Every structure is written in C-alpha cells, then in structure tokens.
Amino acid sequence: MAFRTLDQADLKGARALVRVDLNVPMDDGQVSDDTRLRAVVPTIEKLRAGGAKVVLLAHFDRPKGKVVPSMSLKPIAAALGKVLGAPVAFAGDCVGAKAREAVNALQPGQVLLLENVRFHAGEEANDKAFANDLAANGDLYVNDAFSAAHRAHASTEGLARLLPAYAGEQMRLELDALDRALGNPDRPVMGIVGGSKVSTKLELLQNLVVKLDKLAIGGGMANTFLYAQGHDVGASYCEKDLAETAREIIRLAGRNNCKLFLPLDIVVAEKMAPGAPARIRDVGSIDDEERILDAGPETVERLCRAMGNSKTLVWNGPLGVFEMPPFDKGTMTAARHAAELARAGKLVAVAGGGDTVAALNAAGVAEDFTFVSTAGGAFLEWMEGKELPGVAALLARTGR
C-alpha cells in the first residue's frame, strides 16, 4: 500500500499533530494496562529524534461531544511520561486558546497531550470547521491509531486532508502486516475464524471465502454450520435461523475453491463451568442436554496439519471457551502450533481481535506470531474487506 512514512517527512522544528490511541483501561484513576501507551513510543521517539514538536491527539471513552471530567486524558499524560521516560505536558483543551498557548510553548523534542478530542461534537461528526481548528496547531499530521481508522472522525480522517499526512510507526507495522496477510500474501493462505455468533461475522466470512485458500470455522459459530449440515447440536448455542446463510457460505466457498474446515469431533459437557466433566464426541453424537464447548483433538490435529501446509495464516476468534479449562485445549494447541511455525519462519501468522489477543496471551505465544493487532473493530472491518476512512485518507495524500 502506498502511504507516506515518517522517513519521508521534514521534521526539524515542525509541529507534528499525532493521532494516537490512549483509550486505556483505568482503575481508581490509574492506568491498569499500559500496552497502548507502549505502542505509541516508537512514533514519539522518532519525531523527537527528528526535532519535531510532538502534539498528541486522542480520545478516551464516549463523552458524546460534552466535557465529562471523569473522561479527561490528564491522568494519562503522567502515565505516558513514565513509559516514555520524558515529561508529557498537558493542555486542558484540544482547540482554542488553551491548546494554542500550550503548543506555542513547546520546544523541539518536547511532547504535549491535548485534551480528549471527543469533548467536542465536531470530532465524531468530522466537522470541517473543527478539523480546521485542530489543524491550526500543526504543520504535519501523523496517524498512529489504526484502532480508530475505521472511524471517519475529524482527528482520524478530516485532518489528513488538511495537512501533509504520514503513517506513524505502529500504523506502518499494522498496514504492512495486513497487506502480507490478505493484500499480497504468500499462498496458500489459511484463515481461522471463531467466536460465538455467525451473525456478527457474516460479512467477514463472505469476504474470506473469496480470498482464502482454506478457512477453518470454530467456536460457537461452528455449531450453526454443523446444524445447517443436519447434525444434532444438543443444547449448544446455535443460531438456527441462520442455517440457510451458513449453507450459502459453504456453497460460496466451493465456488471459489476455498477449502472449508468444520469440526470432525467435539468436546462436550452438560455445564459450562471450570473443570466440568468433558467428553469427546464425533460430530452429531451428542445428548440433548450436552453443549459443544471446544474443538476435538482430531479437528485440532487436522487444523495443525493444514497450517503446516500453508504460507500465511490470518486468525480471528477462538475455537472454544478458551477462558475455561478444560475447554481451552483446542485453542491453546492450535495457537502454539501456529507460533512454532511462525518462529521457524515457515508461516506468516497474523492475528487480531480482543478475544484472539487474550487467547494468544493465555497460550503465551502472542510475541511469537508475526503480528498481533489489538485494533478490534478496525481489524475486523479490514478483514471484511471494507475501506477504512483513516487509512484511505493517508493513501489519498501520497501525491502531495
């Protein structure tokens, strides 16, 4: 993808408006997980090293265009400073006199965090006047928040059309990884899609069976596909009203030469509870009171073989109730095998989505994957084949 990076920017003395994702979990006014803070450090450091004045734009929670003191970014400025190892100043607004005075006081290499952009209704409305007010405090724009790139907001899309626009370091890594996974992948390409509901991933499945060579379906959504094929699913969660939709996806996969992997065997129990007595059954062999809670060992072994015969893997969603032993085994086994292949350089393994990241962390293999996206909604919309406004705006500025 043709987007400009910071290596192409003249940074010395420039006011760099940087859209970052600081929407971090808080506990009693303290940041409880600094993953997103650490993710923005490479971009900030590159700008500082180049002599730029770094002005950070971010949102926190959903104040809906009003000033909500509990949603202020002020506590995050100090936490970011600790992670960065340098002071991070704070301004009580992102536009107007407070922002202007704070930006004017900056020296090259210094960092300033402006107040929550969502305190202004113009942010989510992508209001041009508000975008112009933001742009008044910058000479160039850097988007380092892929997680917000599916939103056409003033700070994610509007600004990119007003100032010379560049992808930040985290954005660059994300876009490069996604291009390797689906844009221009090494084939064969395999996908694993899990989770509970087919209804939330219809567009995803319909896009993937057209692009992939192989697609494995797991988790609760696999129950709907098994039911659609005439198998009994007992008391399992199942969207029976989507049976015909599932059959259409199976037919679409066939027309596009995408090999579909559905469970061969299943792990069942009468209760979804930690340590509940579990049994391995063949597909369709299930009692009325039993629930399908994980993929069986034969199913997982076949998935691992398919991964071994692939060059690229894209993964979204667990194979079972991974948070609850003994129903975590399928997801853990498959994740560790994918990580082993990626470590050996045999597989480009890209994963994303909240549950997927949690599962890979639980398996202890997140760092072994080629790339793990924490973007959530943006990652899912990209997998669905949708245009992301924040990314499109960066691409649109390449000719400038």
For 206-234, give the DSSP string: HHHHHH-SEEEE-THHHHHHHHHTT---T
Average pLDDT score over residue span 166-173: 94
d(CA 394, CA 390) in angstroms, rounded, equals: 7
In sequence order, what are the residues at sequence separation of 6 or more whose Cβ sits closer than 8 angstroms to the Cβ of residue 276? 269, 270, 326
d(CA 80, CA 64) in angstroms, rounded, equals: 24
Q: pLDDT at position 396, please? A: 63
Is pLDDT at 29 greater than 80 in this prediction? yes
Which residue is associated with the tokens 């599962």? 359
Helix (H, G, I), strand (E, B) or coil at 357: helix
Q: pLDDT at position 397, please? A: 56
Q: pLDDT at position 329, please? A: 97
The residues annotated as belonging to the active site are 36, 197, 354, 377
Q: pLDDT at position 242, please? A: 96
Helix (H, G, I), strand (E, B) or coil at 192: strand
In degrees, rounded to 5, the angle at the alpha carbon of residue 270 between the alpha carbons of residues 264 and 273 is 100
CA atoms within 13 A on the CB side of 185: 22
Looking at 3.30.1600.10, 3.40.50.300, 3.40.50.1260, 3.40.50.280, the CATH number of the domain 6-170 comes to 3.40.50.1260
Average pLDDT score over residue span 132-137: 98
Domain ranges in the chain are 6-170, 185-369
Average pLDDT score over residue span 267-279: 95
Which residue type is seen at 399?
A: G
The answer to whether 83 and 34 have CB atoms below 8 angstroms apart is yes
d(CA 130, CA 367) in angstroms, rounded, equals: 39
Q: pLDDT at position 400, please? A: 36
Q: Per CATH, is 185-369 categorized as 3.60.40.10?
A: no
d(CA 178, CA 162) in angstroms, rounded, equals: 26
Long-range CB contacts for residues 34-40, cutoff 8 Å, separation at least 24: 34/79, 34/83, 35/374, 36/374, 37/76, 37/79, 37/80, 37/83, 38/83, 39/170, 39/374, 40/80, 40/144, 40/168, 40/170
- The tens digit of pLDDT for each residue in 274-332 reads 999 999 999 989 999 999 999 999 999 999 999 999 999 999 999 999 999 999 999 99
Do 6-170 and 185-369 share a fold?
A: yes
Percentage, residues of the chain above pLDDT 90: 85
DSSP 11: -
Locate 133 and state its tokens: 């007010």
- The tens digit of pLDDT for each residue in 102-130 reads 999 999 999 999 999 999 999 999 999 99
Q: pLDDT at position 365, please? A: 96
- The tens digit of pLDDT for each residue in 49-103 reads 999 999 999 999 999 999 999 999 999 999 999 999 999 999 999 999 999 999 9
Complete edge-to-edge strand list for the sheet that includes strand 348-352? 259-261, 214-217, 189-193, 312-316, 348-352, 371-373
